[in-house]
Structure 1
């Protein structure tokens, strides 16, 4: 028999749930099956361009049609019609038309396609001490020391002088070479180890080893190893050194997404932030038939560097798509600001999972944990909530009620202790349009590292959360 205190606590206290405890055997199998599909996506989507290629294939397989093709038909968009728009192969907007008119607002989920990495500099190739290297410029927030002494793969595109586009992907297959950034051996690291951790590897020390065999046909030539590498690139891809200037080449951790743990409950991989939200959102929208409100997913670029550029969320490409959507639905484009103001959105981005090894960085009462479901993050920002959206209590209440009614296992979390640091999402830029926005995504361990960790249970619950958000007609 429960005591009076226990009965009152059961009534009033919030007890976090574990996703695994809410499942039957079939539920566990669904989670593992969904995770297998996600791992395959990660293996093919090492860059934002590659991710978009996979997403386009998935959308087309589920009946989504380019807005440009729909415009040629000359027929107004009707409930259930599926469409997409691609911006420069780095950003995408897709949707399913709802039963309610577009002018009454959208139900939007926004995620970002980019993830931290190493980009090649415009003039990357040089020779030193009989070895050839690429110089890099890191992209996004990384701990630079984590990127040394591990296998790296090279992905990206090169636009040659004649306009031909060359796609490069090297280092992922077992029989392909990889690249690496060398580090100083511990025997000689006395001075290096005196550096602060954040200065252990400097940005200009992130130089990637790419070759060591000299050009054999002219032993008097000064930079024979560099020349030999250029010769290999020319033979394989038809490239010249100047072609690097019109290239987007990225170095990312080589290798496949892997199960982690004896029980295989976790996924270790590069790029969970934010491709876990990208994948779950795309999967969720492909399952919609005729939602009550028009459902829209926005996949933006450049979030890791401030959402700038014409493929980032701060650009106007999203407005361009909504204008087309209004026009193709038979509404005046003058209504665009009213439509956006009436829109309700989830900013689909990850949160930091509390790491028991580094507990001092977290507020344990306000931190997300692996396996306890999708995270509702009221605000992000840094320290005094700078550069945050800070969702209104009314909207958070609507989402909380919806998730409880639909059996979604959810939790809340902040991004660490108040003065410890912080971070941001695209929520603030969606909010600029006047729409209600709440951050919603799974927790991640080792965020922004070459091997991030997520729980398969949280990934699946994120997918289910996005489904019920789009399916709902209650708000």
Structure 2
């Protein structure tokens, strides 16, 4: 079965909506380069759409009615949004779940040091990356520094035109004979991903000679104190992330694609958010769940393995239907979910890694993966045929372009999502998302047409599933 390129199927009104969604999506990518920033962006949009914070609603003690909207945040890195449907929550929900963490480089807790007149931040990479891709490009620093007095300092350096940027250096090709002979996984070692942040020593008048061993480090600390009131020991209670600097950009002479950092999985997170805000008057309660830590196994308090989402469902059921562990279990089991995560787009430059008949393609619409995992479907949720049939019906009825795919050749590799975790409750779950080129690279590519179809498909699921 061959899916057609969908660009030529759009009329003027659809192209106008497609462009509007693409611009909004790029803006969200620019504002949300970390999990905390993504949650902040999403909460602002939710509030503007009439969503209320869950603790405020619970404090009032009044049952929620159809159409009421609430949201809950966990540690500023995980978000659950609920729009109440006609039916009680215990009848099940329609859930869009995506992750908002992306591969990056984190700053360690004792990071700042000087070496031969250069100041560096020591780092530890996060998620699956090709380490050699992260050298020599302009990088920015995002995050939060929590101080002992209870105050917090928000950090974002490298995104404004007036900001400095940072870099991880590489060996010049003239001296790289031994390096070039190494395996790609060894060309750049993890401990060589340290961030270059300074080279100018502190002035003598400040109490250190320019030639003193740590004069450059001292100057960096002076600048941090002046600009952010941060001391060296404050790094111990900081979460600082190193990401590519710069804005999301149109890609291609025809402007048909988007080039940006973090599209795995923010392309699915933001399109899910857009759909959640757009959809009204649903039969079942609608949910949008944006989670952290997927790239490292969905662990921790803000990952999908936590009980955060289940706890919020229990709170809402207690408010509306009375406390009942059984009703919470029923709600989870009777729910349906799209695990909204990206798929690997077929790349003709690396055709040997793909089985073409089972690959996701650009401009063919929303991609569904019946299973993910690796090799023998290891670690995968494997969606039921009956659920797939319902998905096909919903997408066809709502005129959504879609395709079915696998993640490369069977024995080449593989990957996972949060689908299997939610499937543990017995709910119907399938992976669905946008096909992406250069996944996990500092800059990834998506098709504007597929982004548009994702929004359409997620709207359809919330309304019809």
Class of the TM-score when normalised by the shorter of the 2 chains: over 0.9
Select 1:416's aligned residue among 408, 413, 433: 408
Could you tell me whether the CA contact under 8 Å between 1:17 and 1:409 is conserved in 2?
no
- 8 Å contact kept, 1:103–1:331: no
The answer for the alignment partner of 1:112 in structure 2 is 99
Corresponding residue for residue 438 of structure 2: 446
C-alpha RMSD over aligned residues: 1.0
**1:4 alignment counterpart:** none
**TM-score calculated relative to the size of structure 2:** 0.98
Q: Deviation per CA, 1:216-263: give whole Å up to 9, x if none.
A: 222164211111111111111111111111000000000000000111
Q: Is residue 458 of structure 2 the alignment partner of residue 466 of structure 1? A: yes
Q: Is the 8 A contact 1:96 1:288 kept in 2?
A: no
Q: Secondary structure at the match of 1:444?
A: strand
Establish whether residue 18 from structure 1 lines up as the match of residue 9 from structure 2: no
Q: Given that residues 66 and 83 in structure 1 are in contact (C-alpha distance below 8 angstroms), is that contact kept between their aligned partners in structure 2?
A: yes
The DSSP-based 3-state class of the residue aligned with 2:341 is: coil
Alignment deviations for residues 327-361 of structure 1 (CA, whole Å, 9 cap, x no partner): 12124322111111111110000000000100000
Q: Which structure 2 residues correspond to residues 260-339 of structure 1 after superposition, within 5 A?
A: 260-334=251-325, 335-339=327-331
Q: How does 1:48-447 map to 2 (within 5 A)?
A: 48-217=35-204, 218-219=208-209, 221-334=212-325, 335-447=327-439
Kindly state the Cα deviation for residue 439 of structure 1 after the two structures are TM-superposed: 0.4
1:111 CA displacement: 0.4
Q: Deviations over 1:186-213 (max 9, x none)?
A: 1110010011111111101101110001
CA distance in 2, matches of 1:298, 1:329: 21
Structure 1 residue runs of 5 or longer lacking an equivalent are 1-13
Using the alignment, how far apart are the partners of 2:71 and 2:6 within structure 1?
Answer: 33
Cα distance in structure 2, aligned partners of 1:329 and 1:289: 20
Give per-residue Cα distances to partners, 1:159-206, cap 9 Å, x unaligned: 112121000000001111000000011111001001111111110110
Secondary structure of 2:120's match?
strand
- Aligned pair count reads 460
Structure 1 residue runs of 4 or more that deviate by more than 3 Å after TM superposition: none
Q: Distance in 2 between matches of 1:333 and 1:251?
A: 44
Contact 1:135 1:207 in 2 (8 A): yes
**1:377-435 CA deviation, whole Å, 9 max, x = no partner?**
00111111111001111111110111112111001111111111111000011101110
CA distance in 2, matches of 1:276, 1:310: 23
Deviation at 1:29? 1.9
Q: Distance in 1 between matches of 2:196 and 2:7?
A: 44
